[in-house]
Structure 1
Amino acid sequence: MGETLQTDAEIAPKTERLIHQVEAIRLTANVTLDESRRSQLGQFMTPSPVAQLMAAMFDDLGGDIHLLDAGAGVGSLTAALIENATTRKIPPRSITANTYELEPLLLSHLEKTTALCRETCKQANISFINRIRPLNFIEEATSILRGDLFSERIQPRFNRAILNPPYCKVNSASTVRKLLRSVGIETSNLYTAFVALAIKLLETDGELVAITPRSFCNGPYFKPFRELLLKEMSLTHIHIFHARNKAFKGDAVLQENIIFHAIKAKVASRVLISSSTCANDPNIVHRWIERHEVVNPADPDLFIHIATEENDAATTLRVRGLPCSLEDLNIKVSTGRVVDFRSRKFLRMEPEASTVPLIYPSHFKDGFISWPKLHGRKPNAIIEHASTTDLLVPSGMYVLVKRFSSKEERRRIVAAIYDPRRLRKEWVGFENHLNYFHVDGKGLTRNVAKGLALFLNSSIVDQYFRLFSGHTQVNAADLRSLRYPSIRQLKQLGNRIKNKIP
């Protein structure tokens, strides 16, 4: 190259114009691509402030950058990385950008962005090669990993990856799922599929920055992905947004999103946790924590905990320090068996002689079940019949937990007691929007049930659940993953409860 590099001050106006111009391209493309089409694709393009925040998370952008941007959209992430790279003390010698985008409506916008990127790199004396790949990323990536697309001599290299992957469920019998399995990836969503492929494609010491839903941090469906991520990569930085609708402001995205940075094969003893209201919030809070506070090495499920404050860390330690698992307590938790639309002909709005109680979340009141709820929208009873026997459980003391909490509720976990003395029926049905705690299909002892409900409704359980769960759904697997007080402690808690749970 031989030319003198421009100073940061000389470059800054041009790179700033790059970001502004690409944001204008994104907004134009957003109008072109209607919301239903974006939802179908599962893709929402990255706003400029988010893209800049992501680009700034890379440790090293010097040397020769071989960039992977899969699901590139209009190229906002590639542009943000280039803007950031040109202003660093050690800028790159060259940038080879591999941008994968399938949507024909976006390709012309992507070409405009890469032309602007080329000009910005030229001004900074950085060699720039752009490869727009209008291909199915999953098909090509799995072919590369299997070695059946390119010879080793011309195989593409990636030492940096920046991703805002599409969000869409992957059917277990689909071609996509089969392709992923062919390279050892087991996952149920496109966003984790894209990240998993990027991890496998990255060179040793390569860096990855991705914005994704927080849902991969917990739950059984994402465990294989967490295993891959934590085995191949070292998490170094996680950023969380306090408001779930701020990252993609202007789009109908209600998933709680996080941004994370990870390095392939490097072992980091500490992880930086940062948080803000939105991407351009000037008051970002930073906190360094030990790696074992993020992922407990003794946790077989490898849940990822994101404690943004000291109080969060204290909450995590307190709950992790509880003595028992559900298995230790000989207690199980299951999902309600009655799926109302499948059992419609057996449901009744009001109790009859041939029916037993059918319990919905709407029957929760002051920590107990208030039944029947007449003149409501939901049935109150189900016919006791040979066809419904498998849907019912024997009457007893059960602790019920709503699977979905409403916006109005203070807590994510909302528990209530089913007390047979209040209803006096031999059988009961629990609707599918409820989880229920039981002992081998039968009820709990009275004080254990009351103590368990009080524990689940506690503020510390609510705080802990929010740390590892980015959604309002509470699955039976989430409840199994918790630590619990001992039976003796639960009985002591239960002794405090009379007719109402605080």
Structure 2
Amino acid sequence: MSKLLPEVLTERTETRRVTRSNALDAATRADLGQYFTPSTAAALITGLPSLPKTGVLRVLDPGAGVGSLTAALVARVATVAPDLKLDVTTFEIDEQVNGDLTVTLDECADAHSLTYEQHTADFITWAAATLTEGRDLPQWDLVVMNPPYRKINSKSAERALLASCGIETSNLYTAFVALALRFLAPEGQLVAITPRSFANGSYFRKFRDDLLKRTRLRNLHVFERRDRVFSDSEVLQENVIFHATADQAPGDVIVSVSRGYEDLPVRHSVPYGQVVDEADPQKFIHIATNADDLATAGRMAKLPATLRDLDVQVSTGRVVDFRTAENLLSSPGKGAVPLLYPVNLSAGRVVWPASGGRKPQALVDNEDTRPLMLPSGTYCLVKRFSAKEEPRRVSASLLLPDDINGEDVGVENHINVFHQAHHGLDPDLAAGLTAYLNSSVVDQYVRIFSGHTQINAGDLRSLKYPSLQQLKELGLRVGLSVTPGMVDAALAEVVPELDLGRTNVDAVGSAASEGP
């Protein structure tokens, strides 16, 4: 008979979590990337994996903290699979926290049939040594994790250890996941709560390749509110829970969404191809959280063209201001060319020079700066950054030769530029691209796959586009009226399959409001 009831186990663990979290030094938390898992979030995370009824389940909890995830898993197993034994391995580097973890593990063993091995070593150091020493690798049937969140310096010891294992990534959380994947049993499962940022963008492309080659996504859970999940740690981060299996058997992905971890999730069954497009070299992970998003994703997938098909390229602006500070001028002058910052992009057009701003508006024309310039022409410009709370994620503006005074122009690095071999575009094509990117359907679609507010050139390359003829026709219809809110009607006429007012039953999976 179990001595400790499952609900008592999780209550006691939660008390230790709150006490320890309140006692943590802010500098130590930042250095280690520590953000402990609230009990309700832990229950949601550990509720996703499938469980056998009997036998021994080998479990890895790297970055275990006070043991919240292990305790939640033990509580679930004790309730739904009482004949299943657990063999748990934990890693926790913080000496202060390890004392709490020992108490939690002892109580877990008191609540259910469990053996455990507690490591006080750094998981990255241990895993790298194990992988490179050529010995038999331990294998785990289930990995549960809330990995630490901190950027990894490119010259750090951590980066070198990861490189020795063939792993290239820029954050601790993806490093932990990538290492854990290498210890999964052939039919093993991994479930983790992490920032959503890995789902798209060039920084995490190699990590996505690794994750999707080794596993198949089964569940994705998104939190609508960034301030809910780790509220007592003052974390403002868009988080996702993902469940993946080493078993590559086909199947849909269950996508769920809630405002926080205590709300009843809304769930959708989504075809795998709408989450991960096998033909996409970037392997973006598209997370549609409601029926409208599913319909939008379906419509966008049917568009005929890529930028390569259109013979159009997109790049970030070449001017990195702090690298050429001595060549920046606050206002136009002789021997200088116009310089554009995001502040110069307004209401779908370019305003130069910008009045009342603090950004330089001209770039000295000399041998050093000439490679940073573009010849005067017609371009489509897109801001790289927007505030999460802004009404639009994508903000495009049309640049015409008459907007600036000069034969060349400098574009600052916080702007993406659509061009053809670093020259201007056909004016109708440029207007059509600008209108398309300012449409509601593109804005909604970008929010599906983007968990952050940065729109990189890689994100724009990954989009599907109307055909060249359709974009030019759109440009002819809208002319200079390329502002958000003015382009949707024209786009619906030129590309009717993108009309958000139309129903698209085929693109929508089953949806229901239910618990996990």
Deviations 1:335-393 (A, max 9, x none): 11111122222212222223221111111221001111222121111222222111211
Contact 2:61 2:144 in 1 (8 A): yes
Equivalent residue letter for 2:125:
E
**2:70 is matched with which residue?**
78
Aligned residues of 2:338 and 2:405 also touching (Cα < 8 A): no
Q: Deviations over 1:242-271 (max 9, x none)?
A: 112222122232332110112222413111
SS in 2 for 1:228: helix
Q: 1:460 aligns with which of 437, 441, 444?
A: 441
Structure 1 residue 117 and structure 2 residue 100: aligned? no
Find the aligned partners of 1:414 and 1:36 in 2 and give their Cα distance. Answer: 37
2:69 partner SS: helix
Distance across 2 between alignment mates of 1:290 and 1:74: 37
Shift, 1:54, TM fit: 0.6
Note if 1:186 corresponds to 2:168.
Answer: yes
The alpha carbon displacement at 1:109 in A equals: 1.8
What's 1:25 paired with? 16
Q: Give, in angstroms, the shift of residue 173 of structure 1.
A: 4.1
Please say if residues 37 and 69 of structure 2, whose CA atoms lie closer than 8 Å, have aligned partners that are also in contact: yes
CA distance in 2, matches of 1:110, 1:481: 44
Structure 2 counterpart of 1:240 = 222
Partners of 2:378 and 2:427 within 8 A in 1? yes
Distance in 2 of aligned mates of 1:47 and 1:391: 49
Identity %: 45
Q: What is the CA–CA distance in structure 1 between the aligned matches of 2:370 and 2:165, rounded to whole Å?
A: 44
Task: Note if contact 2:52-2:84 (Cα within 8 Å) is conserved in structure 1.
Answer: no
> Is the 2:317–2:417 contact (alpha carbons within 8 Å) kept by the matching residues of 1?
yes
2:353 is paired with a residue whose SS is coil
Going from structure 1 to structure 2, the CA distance change for 1:486 and 1:339 (only over 3 Å counts) comes to same
Q: Deviations over 1:108-146 (max 9, x none)?
A: 22122223222222xxxx2x2222201011121122233
1:482 Cα deviation from its structure 2 partner: 0.9
Residue type matched to 1:371 in 2? Answer: W
- Measure, in 1, the Cα distance between the counterparts of 2:316 and 2:97: 43
1:270 to 252, 258, 268: 252
> Which amino acid letter does the alignment assign opposite residue 307 of structure 2?
L
Partner residue of 2:413?
432
**2:259 and 2:83 mapped to 1: Cα distance?**
32
Which of 40, 52, 55 in structure 1 is aligned with 2:43?
52
Q: Which residue of 1 is the match for residue 115 of structure 2?
A: 129
Q: Is the 8 A contact 1:65 1:92 kept in 2?
A: no
Query: How far apart, CA to CA, are the structure 2 residues paired with 1:138 and 1:407?
Result: 32
> Greater RCO between the two (CA within 8 Å, min separation 6)?
2
Give 1:433 deviation, angstroms: 0.8
**In structure 2, what is the Cα distance between the partners aligned to 1:61 and 1:44?**
30
| Residue correspondence of structure 1 range 335-484 to structure 2 within 5 A | 335-407=316-388, 409-484=390-465
Aligned to 1:14: 5
Confirm or deny: 8 A CA contact 1:235 1:268 kept in the other structure.
no
> Offset of 1:471 from its aligned partner?
0.5
Structure 2 residue corresponding to 1:218, chosen from 197, 200, 207: 200
Measured after TM superposition, the shift of residue 34 of structure 1 is 2.4
Deviation at 1:92, TM superposition (A): 4.5
Structure 2 partner of 1:104: 95
Q: Number of residue pairs matched?
A: 482
Q: CA deviation at 1:224?
A: 2.4
Structure 1 residues 290-299 or 480-489, which shifts more?
Answer: 290-299
Structure 2: distance between partners of 1:197 and 1:92: 30
Equivalent position SS for 2:232: coil
**Matches of 1:415 and 1:253 in 2, distance apart?**
31
8 A Cα contact 1:235 1:260, kept in partner:
yes
In 2, the alpha carbon distance for the partners of 1:498 and 1:207 equals 53
Give 3-state SS (helix, strand or coil) of 1:166's partner.
coil
User: Helix, strand or coil: the match of 1:69?
Assistant: strand
| Partner SS, residue 343 of structure 2 | helix
Aligned to 1:285: 266
Question: C-alpha displacement at 1:286, in angstroms?
Answer: 1.1
Report the CA distance between 1:404 and its aligned residue: 0.5
Using structure 2 for the length normalisation, give the TM-score: 0.89
The answer to whether the Cα contact below 8 Å between 1:244 and 1:256 also exists between their aligned partners in 2 is: yes
2:293 paired residue among 312, 315, 331: 312
**Pick aligned residue for 2:126 from 136, 140, 143:** 140
For residues 408 and 142 of structure 1, do their structure 2 counterparts lie closer, same or farther at Cα, with a shift above 3 Å needed? closer
Inter-partner Cα distance in structure 2 for 1:190 and 1:403: 25
Where in structure 1 do 4 or more consecutive aligned residues deviate above 4 Å? none
What SS is found at the alignment partner of 2:374?
strand
1:229 is the counterpart of 2:229? no
Matched, 1:321 2:312: no
Superposition RMSD in Å:
1.9
> Contact (CA 8 Å) 1:101, 1:107: kept in 2 or not?
yes
Aligned residue type for 1:208 = L
Runs of 5+ unmatched residues, structure 1: none
Equivalent runs, 1:161-200 vs 2, <5 Å: 161-200=143-182
C-alpha separation between the residues in 2 aligned to 1:359 and 1:197? 43
Structure 1 partner of 2:56: 64
TM-superposition CA deviations, 1:382-435 (whole Å, max 9, x none) = 222222111211111111111101245311111111112122311111111111
Aligned to 2:242: 260
Inter-CA distance 141–259: structure 2 relative to 1 (3 Å threshold)? same
CA gap 1:480/1:30 in 2 versus in 1, 3 angstroms: same
